């Protein structure tokens, strides 16, 4: 019996997670779920963000489904760092998997692109880089104030995510992998990434490789998305590139992600790429598709590949059947996709 920890979180998080669970229950009845009240409400009520006891309980689950965290009433970073990043780091989610696909029936803002032109996956490093929290502030509040954030890149951390990306590229028809970095400026980390990429690449002679600086890659994402099959990159570049990937594939409401611990030592965590969207919270108009596609990634990770394929196919059918330009009603999307997989 699969046991799933559910963190609805803030803003539209609980709204989209409810639809993800609707689809999960329809395609794989009997998954045991435990809800965790984490996020802004708990923080305001108790001052707690992620108590150790809760983290330990989460560790005992097969997987975690998360909506989003972040709230305009909570200082920036408290929930994002204290909850989301804490879980990514504690559960060693070193592969942050973010597929981008333009489905039939979905309009891309890019002129002339067709479904099939955008079908790639970003393997974003999830535990290092500028996200580690190294740095600080000197002379705060004075004219001499200096703030630093350091990027940490370990050989083992870089190597394991690059190897994962190579092996994903090897299992896809095009067998193409692009390393994205900024080795012309970030010469220390860039050199480690590119040397490691070359060395690990020797284990995968059938994978075609390419390197792009992140500024050029950002341009090619919106001018020639067909160039990409698998992309591997560091934590911050991956964060930014995957919002671009979402935008060109029809919007942030469709972009799924998995924070994966490939060793399965800890539970992996699945969540939409988007945030808590305070501007549309409570209106019933958030698109739950990203969360439902994240449920497909979750099912795949847990070995339920048929169910994962069924969910993705149902999403594709639903998107193809949507009235162009018509708004989304959150619960209706969940109802329709759940009905298709039942």
- Which residues would be at the binding site for ligand IPM (CB under 6 A)? 70, 80, 84-85, 239, 273, 275
Q: What is the CA radius of gyration of the chain?
A: 20
Active-site annotation holds for 239? yes
Q: Which residues contact 234 (CB under 8 A, 6 or more apart)?
A: 124, 125, 128, 129, 130, 151, 153, 181, 189, 193
**Catalytic hit among 119, 234, 239, 318:** 239
Q: How far is the CB of 72 from ligand NAD (least distance, A)?
A: 7
Nearest Cα to Cα of residue 10 among 63, 59, 80: 80
Q: How far is the CB of 84 from ligand IPM (least distance, A)?
A: 5
Active-site annotation holds for 22? no
CB 315 within 8 A of CB 289: yes
Element (H, E) at 156: helix 155-170
End-to-end CA distance of the chain: 19
Pick from 128, 239, 312, 318 the residue near Mg ion by CB under 5 A. 239
In this structure, how many other beta carbons lie within 10 angstroms of the beta carbon of residue 206?
7
Q: Is 271 in the site for Mg ion (CB under 5 A)?
A: no
The annotation status of 140 as a binding-site residue, yes or no, is: no
CB 99 within 8 A of CB 307: no
Q: Name the binder of 85 from ligand NAD, Mg ion, ligand IPM, none, CB < 5-8 A by kind.
A: ligand IPM
Q: Is 19 in the site for ligand NAD (CB under 6 A)?
A: no
Q: How far is the CB of 66 from ligand NAD (least distance, A)?
A: 7
CB-side neighbour CA atoms (13 Å) of 196: 27
Element (H, E) at 53: helix 52-59
Nearest Cα to Cα of residue 232 among 300, 152, 155, 167: 167
Q: Is 87 in the site for ligand NAD (CB under 6 A)?
A: no
Active-site annotation holds for 182? yes
Backbone angles phi, psi at 326, to 5 degrees: -75, 145
The annotation status of 286 as a binding-site residue, yes or no, is: yes
Active-site annotation holds for 215? yes
In this structure, how many other beta carbons lie within 10 angstroms of the beta carbon of residue 25?
15
Residue closer to Mg ion, measured from CB, 229 or 271 = 271
Q: Is 286 in the site for ligand NAD (CB under 6 A)?
A: yes
User: Residue with the closest Cβ to ligand IPM?
Assistant: 80
Residue closer to ligand NAD, measured from CB, 94 or 193 = 94
Pick from 99, 129, 253, 334 the residue near ligand NAD by CB under 6 A. 253
Q: Tell me how far apart the alpha carbons of residues 248 and 185 are, in angstroms, rounded to a whole number.
A: 27
Active-site annotation holds for 234? no
Q: How far is the CB of 16 from Mg ion (least distance, A)?
A: 16
- Tell me the binding residues for Mg(2+): 215, 239, 243
Catalytic residues: 131, 182, 215, 239, 243
Contact set with Mg ion (CB under 5 A):
239
Binding residues (CB under 6 A) for ligand NAD: these are 12, 16, 68-70, 80, 84, 252-253, 271, 274-277, 279-280, 286-287, 290
Q: Which residues are annotated as a binding site?
A: 88, 98, 124, 215, 239, 243, 275-287
Residue ranges of the annotated binding site for NAD(+) are 275-287
């Amino acid at each position: 019996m699969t046991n799933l920890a559910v963190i609805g979180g803030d803003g539209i998080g609980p709204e989209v997670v409810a639809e993800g669970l609707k689809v999960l229950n329809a395609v794989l009845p009997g998954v045991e779920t435990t809800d965790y009240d984490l996020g802004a409400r708990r923080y305001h009520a108790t001052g707690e963000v992620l108590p150790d006891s809760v983290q330990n309980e989460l560790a005992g689950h097969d997987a975690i489904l998360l909506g989003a965290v972040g709230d305009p009433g909570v200082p920036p970073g408290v929930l994002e760092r204290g909850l989301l990043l804490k879980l990514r780091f504690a559960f060693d989610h070193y592969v942050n998997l973010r597929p981008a696909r333009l489905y039939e029936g979905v309009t891309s803002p890019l002129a002339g692109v067709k479904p099939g032109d955008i079908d790639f996956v970003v393997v974003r490093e999830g535990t290092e880089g500028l996200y580690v929290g190294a740095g600080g502030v000197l002379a705060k509040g004075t004219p001499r104030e200096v703030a630093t954030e350091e990027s940490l890149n370990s050989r083992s951390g870089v190597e394991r995510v690059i190897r994962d990306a190579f092996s994903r590229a090897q299992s896809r028809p095009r067998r193409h992998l692009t390393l994205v970095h900024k080795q012309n400026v970030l010469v220390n980390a860039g050199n480690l990434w590119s040397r490691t990429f070359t060395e690990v690449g020797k284990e995968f002679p059938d994978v075609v490789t390419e390197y792009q600086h992140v500024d050029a890659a950002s341009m090619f994402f919106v001018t020639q998305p067909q160039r990409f099959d698998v992309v591997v990159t560091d934590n911050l570049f991956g964060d930014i590139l995957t919002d671009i990937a979402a935008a060109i594939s029809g919007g942030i409401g469709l972009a799924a992600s998995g924070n994966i611990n490939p060793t399965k030592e800890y539970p992996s965590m699945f969540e939409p790429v988007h945030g808590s969207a305070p501007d549309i919270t409570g209106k019933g108009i958030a698109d739950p598709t990203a969360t439902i596609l994240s449920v497909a990634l979750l099912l795949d990770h847990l070995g339920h590949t048929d169910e994962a394929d069924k969910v993705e196919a149902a999403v594709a059918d639903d998107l193809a059947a949507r009235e162009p330009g018509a708004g989304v009603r959150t619960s209706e999307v969940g109802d329709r996709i759940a009905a298709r997989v039942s």
